[in-house]
Amino acid sequence: MAGSAKPSIRRFKSGRQLNMQKVFLINSRGIKIAGLLDLPEKKSRYPLVLCLHGFGKGTKEENEKITKILNPQGIATFRIDFHGTGESGSTREEKTLSGFLDDAKTALEFVWSLPRLNKRKVGIYGHSMGATTAILLASQDQRISTVVAATPSIKSDQVLANLYDPKDLAQAKKRGYVELRKNGERKKLHYRFFEDAAKYDITQEAQKISYKFLVIGTTTDTIVPYKQIKNFCEHVSNAQLMTLFHSAHNLKEEWQKVAREIGIWFKNWAE
């Protein structure tokens, strides 16, 4: 299932030394999925958090900061690039939510095979589309015992459609793809993304999660409407909402606050 590069030592700004290993997996569709496994030192058995990035950026841009929060607490992380992103195979226009879920399942199978893993303590952190994927995976696999979902796209088809020029989108079904965004950028995406994403009722799936999990939303998000996240949490009893008031979708403006809460959440879970 997986091949791995030679392990290397990675040094963070905190001065701690961590074991980092680059891993290449093959998902069920035969596509290469790249990942970075960071293990805390001097710990016989470790909890682990699977980190899932959003639709656009890869794991290096988004999830290295999560590793910096969790590794000093003795928590391992496995950060993957979804298909069509970073060092993984496929192309951007081939992305689908079902494909992301398949990538995450592939990553979980690899994680489960690690010899020093504490199998009672496997969690997920996801941002945006990665958060949506995290919720779906947790609803389907009881090996996951906690989730932090940052600005999840509850209605992924609508969220992506809102980024594209309405005239271009109107022709997409017949043409087979969208390309022109409202900001003038050309980013091709096959129409089947929208058809596939529309199949998922994220709220209904999340109701299957049997433990409390953290959802982060921001009232000033221009990509995922806050009202979607608030409505989601109102209908999912185990979803615990953290609301921000001054952050964009990437949470940059209040990241220190977010990082503190993420650290506390996973620390309490890991103990």
**Residue 60 clears pLDDT 70, i.e. is over it:** no
Averaged pLDDT for residues 98-104 = 98
Long-range contacts formed by 4-12: CB under 8 A, 24+ apart: 10/38, 12/67, 12/68, 12/71
pLDDT at 40: 87
E strand residue ranges, the chain: 2-4, 8-11, 17-26, 32-39, 46-52, 76-80, 117-127, 146-150, 177-180, 186-190, 213-218, 239-244
CA dihedral over 70, 116, 140, 191, signed as positive or negative: positive
Tokens standing for 249? Answer: 């979708």
Answer yes or no: are the C-beta atoms of 99 and 46 closer than 8 Å: no
pLDDT per residue as tens digits for the range 158-212: 999 999 999 999 999 999 999 999 999 999 999 999 999 999 999 999 999 999 9
Averaged pLDDT for residues 34-38 = 94
Q: Which domains does the chain have, with CATH numbers?
A: 2-154+201-270 (3.40.50.1820)
pLDDT at 180: 95
Instruction: Report the predicted TM-score, pTM, of the whole model to 2 decimal places.
Output: 0.91
pLDDT per residue as tens digits for the range 199-258: 999 999 999 999 999 999 999 999 999 999 999 999 999 999 999 999 999 999 999 999
CA 12/CA 263 separation, integer angstroms: 17
CA distance readout (Å), 106 to 52, 55, 132, 249 = 12, 18, 16, 27
